[in-house]
Amino acid sequence: MNIVVCIKQVPDTAGGVKFNPDGTLDRAAMLAIMNPDDKAGLEAALRLKDEYGAKVTVVTMGLPKADAILREAMAMGADDAVLVTDRVLGGADTWATSQTLAGALRALDYDLVITGRQAIDGDTAQVGPQLSVHLGLPIVSYTQKLRIEGDYVIAERMFDDRHHVLKVKMPCLLTALSELNEPRYMTPGGIFEAFQKPVTIMGRKDLVDTLDSNIGKVGSPTQIAKASDKVRKGAGTQYIPEDATDAAEYITAKLKEKFII
């Protein structure tokens, strides 16, 4: 079984968020980590590998420094790594990103594709579903549990108040929730081995059946008008009421003031 896991390098919020003048994220200026949902997806793939035997390939699109998360994934147990990087791919929105990843995945063998539900930088949850459409794969999004039965994946899809159990024939695509599992730690020896392994680099020319009009900033229908740091909330004011009636009067007055009631 060949499993491809799409992972993304995202800004570590502990290091602060910085923007380019055009409103896109200045990824080069930020500390970076593997997106948590993607890490859960990788862990799911590694558990399938442990249980059923599989070759796990991780794919990321990003700047050359995204190599770090590919090494981390290999130190956790991934077998191969692919970095899709090219200047013409920069500034991509979810559409252009999913088109690019689809172009890369067409060049790879896979029975199962796993992506994270969403990345903590954009929070769109669009790339996984879009990728399934481009590749013509059935999709189970919000996967919280899975196992393999022959050529089928049995997956639990999370809903607000229930879950659906779906039986899907491979090849198919799953988007993983971080609730799916607790990702394993790397091993010290695994880290040093990971840096000895080659990482396959793919550029624009290596993308299969991908139109120029669908990649990079040019191929991105979404244009960011403005981006900024979240405005911090004030400390608030403390009001100590005399009694319950006073408290109720104070609250209703405040709610009326804000036209809530």
Partner 1 sequence: MDFALSQEHAMARDLFRSFAQNEVKPLAQEIDEEERFPSENIAKMAKLGFLGIAVPKEYGGQGCDYLTYTMCVEELAKVCGTTAVVLSAHTSLCQMPILHFGTEEQKQKYLVPLAKGETLGAFGLTEPGAGTDAAGQQTKAVLDGDEWVLNGTKMFITNGYYADTYVVFAMTDKSLGRKGISAFIVEKGTPGFTFGTKEKKMGIRGSATYELVFTDCRIPKENLLGKLGQGYAIAMDTLDGGRIGIAAQALGLAEGALEVTCDYVKTRKQFGKTLGQFQNTQFQLADMATRCDAAQLLVYRAAIDHDIPKKSSDGMCSSMAKLYAAETAMYVTTKAVQLHGGYGYIRDYDVERMMRDAKITEIYEGTSEVQRMVIAKNLLK
Instruction: State the residues that interact with partner 1 by CB under 8 A.
Output: 68, 71-72, 75, 185-192, 195
Q: Report, in Å, the least distance between residue 190 CB and partner 1.
A: 8
Q: Report, in Å, the least distance between residue 11 CB and partner 1.
A: 16
Nearer to partner 1, 192 or 239 (CB): 192
Q: Report, in Å, the least distance between residue 178 CB and partner 1.
A: 15
Nearer to partner 1, 97 or 181 (CB): 181
What is the full DSSP assignment across the chain?
Answer: -EEEEE--EEE-GGG---B-TTSSB-GGGS-EEE-HHHHHHHHHHHHHHHHH--EEEEEEES-GGGHHHHHHHHHHT-SEEEEE--GGGTT--HHHHHHHHHHHHTTS--SEEEEES--TTT----HHHHHHHHHT--EEEEEEEEEEETTEEEEEEE-SS-EEEEEEESSEEEEE-GGG--PPPP-HHHHHHHTTS--EEE-GGG-SS--GGGSTTTT-S-------PPPPPP-------SSHHHHHHHHHHHHHHTT--
Q: Report, in Å, the least distance between residue 76 CB and partner 1.
A: 10
Q: Report, in Å, the least distance between residue 174 CB and partner 1.
A: 26
